[in-house]
Amino acid sequence: MTDRERFEVVLNELGFLLDRIGDLCEVVLIGGQVLAVEQLAAGEDPVLKVETDTGQTVERGYSFEPDLLIEHPDPDESPRWDEFPHILREAGYHRTQRTYRWEKEVGEVQVLIDLFKPHPGLQTATEMTALPRGETVLARAKTVRLQVGHRALAVKTPSSVDFILMKLDATKIRRPPDSKDAFDLYAYVRRRTATAVGRSLGAAPERDECLDRLLELFGTGHSPGVLDVLKYAPTLGPIEQELLAKDVVTVFRDVRAATSSAS
C-alpha cells in the first residue's frame, strides 16, 4: 500500500465518522491535515511539501492523523451529548492509553484521531485536550468540500488567522524536538500566498501578536522556525540550504509587508 492510498483510507474514515456525528455537534479539523485536505479540494496532491522559486524541494510527507476540535453543545439543547463515545465505539474506534486519542484498524492502516475541546472548563463525554482559542476557531471555521474516491466530504477547517495562531501556539508546546509546526506554517503560507495570508492577518484583532511571533520564528536565516524547516531537507547541500532558508525568511517578510498594507 502506498502512502497516498493509506492517506485516502484515513480520509475516508474521517468522512465516515463526520457523517455519524454530524447531527450531534460541530467538528473542525485542525493540525497539519488541514493543508492536505485543502490541497486535495483544489485538485492537488495532498502530500505536504514546498518547492522554492530557486528549485529547492522540502517535504514532510502525508499527514495521517486527524485532529478534531469538538464543539460542546449545551446539555439542555443536546441531551444526546453523552452518546459521543458510544458513536466512536460503534464506528470501530477504541480509546488508547492516551485517553484523548482513539484508534481504529482498517486493514493494514492504523487510524488515530485526537480529540480537542474549546476550553479547559468544559465537562465532556470523553476526555479531550483543551485547545487555546478553541471557541474562536469554531466561530470562524469554514467548510471545504472535496472528493475522496466515491465519497464527497464536507470538512470544516480553521480560518487562516486561526490556523497560524494554533501552529504558533504549538511551536511553544512541542519545541523541541518536534519541528513540524514551523514547516506547516511555511507550507501553508507558501500555498495560500503571503499576500492572501497578510490580508487576513491585517483584518484580525490578533494581528500584532501574529506578526511578533512570526518575526521571532522566521525573522532571520538562523531563527528557530527556519532551522526547523531545514531539518526536513537534510540531503540539500550548504548552498541549497542557504537558498531554502532565504526563501523561508522572504515568505514571512512578505506576510508582514502584506499585513501592514492591509491594515
What is the per-residue pLDDT across 20-59, written as a single tens digit (0 to 9) for each? 887 788 899 999 999 999 999 999 999 999 999 999 999 9
The reported pLDDT for the residue numbered 62 is 92
152 sits in which H/E element: strand 151-157
The reported pLDDT for the residue numbered 248 is 97
* Helix/strand/coil (H/E/C) assignment for every residue in 172-212: HHHCCCCCHHHHHHHHHHHHHCHHHHHHHHHCCCCHHHHHH
Enumerate residues 6+ apart whose C-beta is below 8 A from 46.
4, 7, 35, 36, 37, 39, 40, 62, 63
Rounded Cα distance between 29 and 73, Å, is 17
In this prediction, residues 98-117 reach a mean pLDDT of 94
The reported pLDDT for the residue numbered 231 is 94
Rounded Cα distance between 258 and 263, Å, is 9
Is residue 175 very low, low, confident or very high in pLDDT (cuts 50, 70, 90)?
very low
Domains of the chain, first to last: 3-158 (3.30.460), 161-262 (no CATH)
In this prediction, residues 90-94 reach a mean pLDDT of 95
The backbone torsions φ and ψ at residue 260, rounded to the nearest 5 degrees and listed phi first, read -65, -40
Is residue 150 very low, low, confident or very high in pLDDT (cuts 50, 70, 90)?
confident
Best CA proximity match to 232, nearest among 217, 216, 248, 250:
248
What is the per-residue pLDDT across 192-242, written as a single tens digit (0 to 9) for each? 999 999 999 999 999 999 999 999 999 999 999 999 999 999 999 999 999
Averaged pLDDT score across all residues of the chain: 91
What is the per-residue pLDDT across 64-86, written as a single tens digit (0 to 9) for each? 999 999 987 765 666 677 888 99
